[in-house]
Amino acid sequence: MQHDPAVIAGVCLVAEAAIARAIALSPGTAPQLAQLHPVELAIACTNPTIDVFLVINGDGEINVSSYRETEPTVCISGSSSAFLKVASASDPAAALINGNIKITGDTAVLMTLQNVLSDLNIDWEAPMVDLLGPIVGHQLANLIRGLTTASKVAHQSARRQLSEFILEEGRLSPPRAELDDFLGSVDDMVLRVDRAESRLKRLKNRVDLLSGASA
């Protein structure tokens, strides 16, 4: 399925703003990132097909975009469910290596980047509320929080860096309760979409009626 570029642009905008905020709150991160410039990380998700690129600029900012023509420094690719597994794993670094995710290009850069970013506390809510308004924005933020923060808090002590992991042996992380939570909120969302759809149908009837009357 082809996604609407405007929607993807919205997702990128939100991600970029959330990451920028987190970087601003974590002194030291920007200079570390600036040293990585001009690294580009491509995240290629299949099924649904979404490509997202994280581009590090000379000021240590991360631009998030959906379209690039340059060769990325490193590319991680896999299905959406493989990415979901990584996001919800107790040990994302391990899941990244062991899961069905393919890493091509400069793996060392990926490790450094993961090191720098793993301490960031990313708050998705504020930029999402900015973009989508309080109601939808808040719900979406909750959904993402269910995915990331819960596992992060629960496993802070156990969290390992990707670089450490490569030195040690890998192990596949078990599916987590957070995933169930997440799927629960997805069901919730589906219900809401159904409701919106019937509202749209009613609206269409009204429009038809109106245009019939004015014709």
Partner 1 sequence: MMSTHDKVTDDTTDFGFERVKTGEKAGRVREVFDSVAARYDVMNDLMSGGMHRLWKRFTIELSAVRPGQTVLDIAGGTGDLAAKFSKLVGADGHVVLADINSAMLSVGRDRLIDKGALSNISVVQADAQYLPFEDNSIDCITIAFGLRNVTDKNKALASMHRVLKPGGRLLVLEFSKPVSPLLSKIYDTYSFSALPVMGKIITDDSDSYRYLAESIRKHPDQDTLLNMVEDAGFVDCRYHNMTGGIVAVHRGIKG
Which residues of the shown chain bind partner 1 in the complex (CB under 8 A)? 4-10, 12-13, 65-70, 131, 203-204, 207-208, 210-211
The torsion region of residue 133 among left (phi > 0), alpha (psi -120 to 50) and beta comes to left
Minimum distance from residue 78 beta carbon to partner 1 (Å): 23
Smallest separation (angstroms) from partner 1 to the CB of 8: 8
Residue 34 burial class via C-beta count within 10 angstroms: exposed 0-12, middle 13-18, buried 19 and up = middle
Closer residue to partner 1 in complex, CB, 7/24: 7
Which is nearer to partner 1, 70 or 80 (by Cβ)? 70
For partner 1, give the closer residue by CB, 5 or 184. 5
Could you tell me if 146 and 182 are in contact, meaning their C-beta atoms sit under 8 angstroms apart? yes
Distance CA 34, CA 37 (A): 5
Q: Which helix (H) or strand (E) is 152 found in, with range?
A: helix 149-154
Q: From the CB of 135, what's the least distance to partner 1, in Å?
A: 14
Which one, 28 or 133, has the nearer CB to partner 1? 133
Pick the closest to residue 120 from 42, 39, 19 (CA basis): 19
Bridge partner residues of 56 (DSSP): 62
Q: Which has the closest alpha carbon to 73: 113, 101, 46?
A: 113
CB of 123 vs partner 1, minimal distance in Å: 20
Closer residue to partner 1 (CB): 9 or 143: 9
Q: What is the DSSP letter of 28?
A: T
State in angstroms the smallest separation of the CB of 208 from partner 1: 8
User: Based on CB atoms, which residue is closest to partner 1, 8 or 150?
Assistant: 8
In the complex, minimum distance from the CB of residue 67 to partner 1, in angstroms, rounded to a whole number: 4
Neighbouring C-beta atoms of residue 23, cutoff 10 Å: 21
